A = this chain, B = another copy of it.
Amino acid sequence: MNDLIIPIHSGLKEPIYEQIYRFMKAEIKRGGLPAGERVPSTRKLAGNLQISRSTVEMAYEQLLAEGYIVSQPYKGYFVAQVEELTQSDIPKDTKAEQNPVILETACLYDFSPRGIDLENFPYGVWRKITRNILQEDNKELFGNGHSQGDEELRLAICQYLHYARGVKATPDLMVVGAGNEYLLMLLAQLLGKSVVAVENPTYLQAARVLKSQGFTVKPVEQDSQGMSLLSLRGDEDIDIAYVMPSHQYPLGTVMPIKRRLELLSWAGEKEGRYIIEDDYDSEFRYKGKPIPALQGTDSGDKVIYMGTFSRSVAPAIRVSYMVLPDKLAKKYRSNIGFYSSTVSRIDQRILTEFITGGYFERHLNRMRTIYKTKHDCILEGLAKFPFEYKVHGENAGTHILIEFPVGIEYEQTLIAAARDAGVKVYGLSAYYYSGSPDRATILLGYAKMSEQSIKEGLALLKEVWGKVLQDIK
């Protein structure tokens, strides 16, 4: 063992101590240096290799730290008893199989109902605010923040929600998090394994998250006024109603005040019942004032209000918020208040400035005008369609629905015909938790499209759908 020959190259980038460490580690692993064998003393090895003793000491210390050799006082270093070393010799195949590639016909016109107009995002303002914040050298911004989100941000959102949505909120009741899905994950911890009623059709992504968080999800019928109270009351097990009263997705229904009060009354009848109000796309209404949030009408502390900046600012801004009833806010603090915030404090500060500086309101007003122009453009284009159809969900949000006087079995035919012409449209069936609509119904989103593309896309649809409907007759 004393004549251990280690190939040393002094011209390499790798330091000599590392070469010794690497060589001996490999020898121990392959069994060349058996367990229990004494390794040469640092003095001896340094002499043999004609290098300094401290270099050898560094190599030995590393081997010692990683457990390849052990030190026995006054005796020296010995190769450690290392079992099952073969384990590490089998090369691991870390290449996961490729995700299946979905082949799609390239679509020139995509009427996605979840699209967002990013052409008109105020990049200049965002950049200016970011620059100012980073220039201030606010070192505390790079530290840990409040679990519920920074107080200033929560206050700014509360003030916005108060005047724009009629929501009664204080920063104490608000939790800011990285997206609605994360907030639903937190809610799952506050509400336990409850039974949640969702509108049918609905925003299925939320239903999926609820389900994967351990909730039992039950689809509930809706009529022209929103979730049916009759159906809701028909199932005693339901604890929570997940609704979008100001602008239901995907139908665009506005829940009238009577239905809202009936819903609140249902929630008030039993301890533990709650309403989750997802205030989706309520910022965009092109006729009259915005419909106030349900939460503002609640006096029984029964509404969990949720909103997001992902659609009103940009999807990249992963900031959502919820206003909890007092009881749940207390439970949040005592049970899961130790969770760290998921939103970067720098982003929180940028958003705070964006709101308090008046930029958010200006941006919303501007987008409302832009979306209204696109909305009107799509209705104008549709007016030229020579066949029968009904429009639903207009005057709000960023999509409309077209109901055809033909059965649901033709929905896929209409979608396929559009796709063949280079236009991507979305069938209402895909939003049903269970069942399907009676008639073929298509969603046309316009947020992401230019007026020109809307016109061109509709011209193509007019032609191909005309043919499809002709054939059906």
Residues on A facing B (Cβ under 8 Å):
17-18, 21, 58, 61-62, 65-68, 80-85, 87-96, 99, 116, 118-119, 121, 123, 126-127, 130-131, 134-135, 137, 139-145, 168-170, 172-173, 178-179, 181-182, 185, 189, 205, 208-209, 212, 225, 254-262, 264-265, 268, 287-289, 291-292, 297-301, 314-318, 326, 329-330, 333, 335-336, 338-347
Residues of chain B within 8 A of A17, CB atoms compared = 288
A194 CB, nearest partner CB in chain B, Å: 15
Inter-subunit contact B256/A178 (CB<8 Å): no
Q: Please, could you name 21 A-B residue pairs with CB atoms under 8 Å apart, sorted by A?
A: A21-B289, A81-B258, A83-B265, A84-B264, A84-B265, A87-B261, A87-B265, A88-B297, A88-B299, A90-B299, A92-B299, A94-B173, A118-B139, A119-B139, A123-B137, A130-B131, A143-B316, A178-B342, A189-B212, A318-B341, A344-B347
Inter-subunit contact B65/A261 (CB<8 Å): no
Name the one of B67, B329, B345 contacting A258, with C-beta atoms under 8 angstroms: B67
A303 CB, nearest partner CB in chain B, Å: 10
Inter-subunit contact B316/A345 (CB<8 Å): yes
A385 CB, nearest partner CB in chain B, Å: 25
Inter-subunit contact B134/A127 (CB<8 Å): yes
Residues of chain B within 8 A of A315, CB atoms compared = 142-144
Inter-subunit contact B316/A66 (CB<8 Å): no
Inter-subunit contact A61/B287 (CB<8 Å): yes
Inter-subunit contact B338/A208 (CB<8 Å): yes
This protein's copies in its complex: 2
Inter-subunit contact B142/A121 (CB<8 Å): yes
Task: Look across to chain B and name the residue whose beta carbon is closest to the beta carbon of A83.
Answer: B261
Inter-subunit contact B82/A257 (CB<8 Å): yes
Given the interface contacts A83-B261, A87-B297, does A96 sit within 8 Å of B330 by beta carbon?
A: yes
Residues of chain B within 8 A of A344, CB atoms compared = 316-318, 344, 347
Given the interface contacts A139-B121, A342-B178, does A18 sit within 8 Å of B84 by beta carbon?
A: no
- Known pairs A67-B257, A96-B330, A209-B339; list 15 more (Cβ under 8 Å): A65-B254, A65-B291, A66-B257, A84-B265, A87-B261, A87-B265, A87-B268, A92-B301, A93-B326, A94-B170, A118-B143, A123-B137, A142-B314, A142-B316, A212-B336
- Expressed in whole angstroms, the Cα–Cα distance for A65 and B225 within the complex equals 10
Name the one of B62, B145, B347 contacting A347, with C-beta atoms under 8 angstroms: B347
- Expressed in whole angstroms, the Cα–Cα distance for A62 and B66 within the complex equals 73
- Expressed in whole angstroms, the Cα–Cα distance for A295 and B82 within the complex equals 17
A126 CB, nearest partner CB in chain B, Å: 7
Task: Look across to chain B and name the residue whose beta carbon is closest to the beta carbon of A349.
Answer: B316
Inter-subunit contact B335/A66 (CB<8 Å): no
A124 CB, nearest partner CB in chain B, Å: 9
- Expressed in whole angstroms, the Cα–Cα distance for A330 and B94 within the complex equals 12
A77 CB, nearest partner CB in chain B, Å: 14
Inter-subunit contact B316/A141 (CB<8 Å): yes
Inter-subunit contact A80/B258 (CB<8 Å): yes
A202 CB, nearest partner CB in chain B, Å: 15
Interface centre among A121, A142, A338 (most CB of B within 10 A): A142
Residues of chain B within 8 A of A169, CB atoms compared = 94
